[in-house]
């Protein structure tokens, strides 16, 4: 059974790691938490529309690569805004065996300039956690080469904006779940 290793970037809210752990535990039993934060001091960044640092996700994944163990995948949690080549921002990114999830843009609070998205702040913490869990499951799927799914109810559906993220389902569809089971159960 494949192991999920969870780690967090330095200077990030540790609660995010706790939430991610309990989210994965609902579905997966082989979990390991790596408590030492991953340093991002050498990771390239640019400045986002809010004047905050936005880090290159690909480079954060590289920083975490040494944490991988045999028959495991690694998920890195961060609250820093992230991007990859050719994008304005991303909720997460994954390659084979490694993924990263950023809470920065998932939270509707980020979008104070866009009422259509910002209105979701009224739905509170539970809503945020639900969206965060979607990205956790999505990137985990990619770490074992599960590709995007056309089913709007499936968590493996691609989301290019918060609205798309908020409107898709919270679980894997039957087809994607079968693929997950074959690797993790
Ligand atoms: Zn994806
Ligand atoms: Zn699916």
What distance in angstroms lies between residue 139's CA and the mean position of ligand 1's atoms? 6
Q: pTM (2 decimals)?
A: 0.97
Q: What is the pLDDT of residue 185?
A: 78
Higher pLDDT, 1 or 23: 23
In order of their start, the domains of the chain are 3-184 (3.40.390.10)
Q: Which residues are catalytic?
A: 139
CA 125 / ligand 2 centre spacing (Å): 26
Using a CB cutoff of 5 Å, list residues around ligand 2, an ion: 149, 151, 154, 156, 173, 176
- Residue 47 to residue 87: CA distance in whole angstroms: 13
Q: Which ligand is nearest to the CA of 92?
A: 1
> Using one digit for the tens of pLDDT, what is the confidence trace for 134-176?
999 999 999 999 999 999 999 999 999 999 999 999 999 999 9
């Amino acid at each position: 059974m494949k192991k999920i290793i969870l780690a967090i970037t330095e200077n990030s809210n540790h609660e995010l790691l706790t939430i991610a752990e309990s989210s994965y535990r609902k579905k997966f039993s082989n979990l390991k938490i790596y408590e030492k934060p991953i340093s991002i001091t050498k990771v390239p960044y640019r400045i986002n529309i809010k004047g905050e640092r936005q880090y290159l996700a690909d480079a954060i994944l590289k920083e975490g690569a040494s944490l991988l163990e045999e028959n495991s995948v690694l998920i890195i949690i961060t609250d820093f805004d992230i991007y990859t080549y050719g994008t304005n921002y991303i909720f997460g990114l994954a390659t084979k065996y490694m993924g990263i999830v950023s809470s920065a843009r998932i939270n509707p609070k980020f979008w104070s300039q866009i009422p259509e998205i910002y209105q979701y702040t009224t739905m509170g913490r539970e809503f945020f956690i639900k969206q965060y869990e979607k990205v956790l499951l999505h990137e985990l799927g990619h770490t074992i080469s599960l590709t995007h799914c056309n089913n709007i109810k499936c968590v493996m559906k691609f989301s290019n904006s918060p609205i798309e993220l908020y409107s898709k389902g919270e679980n894997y569809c039957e087809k994607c779940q079968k693929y997950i089971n074959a690797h993790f159960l």
